Structure 1
Amino acid sequence: MSGGAGTTTAKGERRRAELARAAAAIVREEGPGALTHRAVAARAGASLSATTYYFTGLDDLLAAAGEALVATWVEHARTVAAQVAARATPATQPARERAAHLLVSAVLPPGDDDAVRAHYEHLLGAGRVPALARAIAAGRHDLDAVVAEVVRLVGADVSPALVVAVVDGAVVTALTEQRPVRASAAALLAQVLPGGS
C-alpha cells in the first residue's frame, strides 16, 4: 500500500480503496478543489480519522483519487475490448464507421454527454494539481495499451495516439457546440481510419 500509515491487511486495502473511490467521485463530480479529508469521509460513510489513517495528506489522497479515476477508465476500455474480441474474427472486421464507434467507446468513459463533460473537466483540472496529474499520467500507459488492442481488433492501421487525439478534439468541439458527443467523435474519427474520406 502506498501512502498513509494504514495496515496492509486485505480489509485495510479494501477500506483504502473505498476511500480512494469516494475521493475519485468527488473529483469527477465537483473537481479537485472540492477534495478534502472531511468530504471523502462523508462520501465514504467513514470517520475523518480513517482518511488520515490511510492517507498521509491531501496530496496522497489526490494521487489515490487519480489512480481510481484512471482504473475506472481503463476497466471500461477493457470491457469494450473484450466485447470487440468476442465478436471479431479475421474474416469479419467491422466496417470503418463501426470501427470508429468502437474506438470512441474505448476512449471515452461510460455514460451520457454530461458524464463525458465531467470526465474532460476533471482531466483539465488535473493539470493544475500536480499529485492528481502525476497519477493520471502514470495510469495513461494502461489506457493507451487497451486502445492499441482495440485498434488491432478492428483492423485499423492507425496510431492509438492519433485515435485518442482525434477523439479528444472532437469531444471538446462537440461539448462546446452542444452537439452529440459520441456521434460527432465517431464521424470525425471515421475520416482518419483506413478508407476514410
Structure 2
Amino acid sequence: MAPESEKHVPRRQARGTQRRDRIVSAAAELILRDGPAAVTHRSVAAQADVPLAATTYYFTGLDDLLGAAGEQIVRGWAERAQAIGHSVTELVAEGGVETLSTRSRALLLVDAVLPPGDHGELLGFYEHVVSAGRSPVLAAAFAQGRGELDVVIDELLAQLGARFSAVLLIAVVDGAAVTALCEGRAVRDLAVECVTELLGGA
C-alpha cells in the first residue's frame, strides 16, 4: 500500500497544473485586451488571482510566460475554426454542402478566421495582435502555432470546395478587417464581401 504522502502527490500535481493553466490564461487575456506590454508578473498574478510568487514558480521568466500565452491564443484560434469545420462535416454527411450559396460559404469561412465580438472588440484584438510583433518570443509562438491553424482552415476550405489556401484566406480576412476598422466600416460585412469575391461569387 502506498504511503499516505504519495497519495497526495497526484492531487498536488493536478492543483499545480490548474494554477499554471490559470496563469497562462490570464496572460493571454492581458495580451488580447491590453497588449503584450501589459504582461508583468504583478498584472498576471492579479488577473489570475494567484500569489505573485506563483508566476515565477511555474515560469523561468516573462518570456517563458509570453510564449505559453501565445501558444494558447493560437490554439484558441484553431479550436474556433475546428468548431466551424465540425458543423460543415455534418452538412457534408447530410449532403447539404452543395446547397450552400457562395455567400453562405463565405460567412462560414469568415467566422472560422475572424474572432467574435463587436467593432470595439475587433479593434482591440487587431491592435494587440499586431503589437505582438514587438515581442520576439510572442511572435515566434504565433508563427509556430500558425501551422496548426492553417491545417484546420485548409481542411475546411477543402470541405467547402474552395481552391485557395488558408494563407490566402487569412490574409484576405485580416486585410478586410484592418481596412474596415481604420475606415469605420462593418468588419464582418467587408470580410464576407471580399471572401465571396474570392470564392468567385457575384
Identify unmatched segments of 5+ residues in structure 1: 1-7
Whether the aligned pair in 2 keeps the contact of 1:76 and 1:110 (CA below 8 Å) is no
Q: 1:108 to 1:91 in 2, by over 3 A?
A: closer
Deviations 1:70-92 (A, max 9, x none): 12211111111112222235563
Residues 138-157 of structure 1 mapped to structure 2, 5 A cutoff = 138-157=144-163
The offset of 1:169, in angstroms, is 0.8
The match for 2:49 among 45, 63, 72 is 45
Letter of the structure 1 residue corresponding to residue 84 of structure 2 = V
Q: 1:60 aligned to 2:58?
A: no
Residues 57-96 of structure 1 mapped to structure 2, 5 A cutoff = 57-89=61-93, 90=95, 92-93=97-98, 94-96=100-102
Letter of the structure 1 residue corresponding to residue 59 of structure 2 = F
Letter of the structure 1 residue corresponding to residue 180 of structure 2 = A
Aligned to 2:177: 171
Separation in 2, partners of 1:132, 1:164? 19
Separation in 2, partners of 1:91, 1:31? 41
Aligned to 2:29: 25
The offset of 1:192, in angstroms, is 1.2
The answer to which of 67-76 and 21-30 deviates more is: 67-76
The offset of 1:42, in angstroms, is 0.4
Residues paired across the two proteins, number: 189
TM-score norm. by structure 1 comes to 0.90
The match for 2:20 among 12, 16, 24 is 16
Letter of the structure 1 residue corresponding to residue 131 of structure 2 = G
Aligned to 2:6: none
Letter of the structure 2 residue corresponding to residue 14 of structure 1 = Q
Deviations 1:143-171 (A, max 9, x none): 11111111112111222211111111111
The answer to which of 169-178 and 75-84 deviates more is: 75-84
Separation in 1, partners of 2:180, 2:28? 25
The match for 1:161 among 157, 167, 172 is 167
Separation in 2, partners of 1:92, 1:125? 38
What's the Cα RMSD here?
1.6
Normalized per residue, the structure richer in helix is 2
Structure 1 residue ranges, 4+ long, deviating more than 3 angstroms after superposition: 89-92
